[in-house]
Amino acid sequence: MSLYLPDNVRVNHERFKLFITKEQIETRLQELGCQIDAEYAGKKPIFIGVLNGAFIFLADLMRYVSIPCEVDFFKLSSYGDEKVSSGKVTERKDLDAQIEGRHVIIVEDIVDTGLSMSYILNLMKHKNPASVKIVTLLHKPGAMRFDVTLDYIGFEIPTLFVLGYGLDYAQEGRNLAQIYVLDADGGNGE
Ligand code: IMP
Ligand code: MG
């Protein structure tokens, strides 16, 4: 079986169409990896992936980074099973690593309103890291409601619901190897 690369897909009775291809993702990850290599030369950053959505992006991004680095995970949940944010953030798993004095790079799949990111940033800063930067694969500038600086952005996208490449809709669709957008013309139902 090769990578799962359909042009259109139905997830939880809704149609999604291809939005960002595997090639576009790879090219962008290569650029981000180079930038991180250059900006963290001589340091050993720790990537902190925000579960569940960031697991694929983090795994791929790390493989474009050649400086010494470490990884840990933090688990949050804010969306529930809907396509709009619940507006509440719950912490499900704290870090295992000690990040005091460390250069932290928070890795997120998507920043929508910015609520999750501002919550995580606040928690991280209390642990006294040497520095904290954020890398997000996707950003919806039109939905942003919190004042958070995003240091590295893969793609800026319109305020539309997307899935695939780690991002889910009611927990499904994370296994898609590319990014898909809700197809407004695709209709509902089977
Ligand atoms: P925020 O706290 O509003 O910025 O939302 C961030 C979280 O909501 C992300 O980490 C995702 O897990 C989820 N999310 C936001 N937009 C989307 C989307 O279009 N598709 C899937 N998940 C999303
Ligand atoms: Mg997420």
Q: Whose CA is nearest to atom 3 of ligand 1?
A: 113
Among all ligands shown, which has an atom nearest to the Cα of 138? Answer: 1
Ligand 1: residue of 52, 91, 110, 169 to mutate (most ligand atoms within 8 A of CB) is 110
According to the model, what pLDDT value does residue 189 have?
A: 45
Cβ of residue 134 lying under 6 Å from some atom of ligand 1: no
Q: Which residues of the chain are under the pLDDT cut of 70? A: 78-81, 86, 186-190
Is 112 a residue of the active site?
yes
CA 77 to ligand 2 center in whole angstroms: 7
Rg (CA), the chain: 16
CA 43 to ligand 1 center in whole angstroms: 30
Residues with Cβ within 5 Å of ion ligand 2? Answer: 53, 109
The model carries a pTM of 0.94
Give the position, in ligand 1's atom list, of the atom nearest the Cα of 146: 4
Distance set, CA 170 to CA 7, 11, 78, 87, 180 (Å)? 20, 9, 12, 16, 15
According to the model, what pLDDT value does residue 148 have?
A: 96
CA 141 to ligand 2 center in whole angstroms: 16
Q: Which of 112, 147, 151, 168 is catalytic?
A: 112
Give the position, in ligand 1's atom list, of the atom nearest the Cα of 140: 16
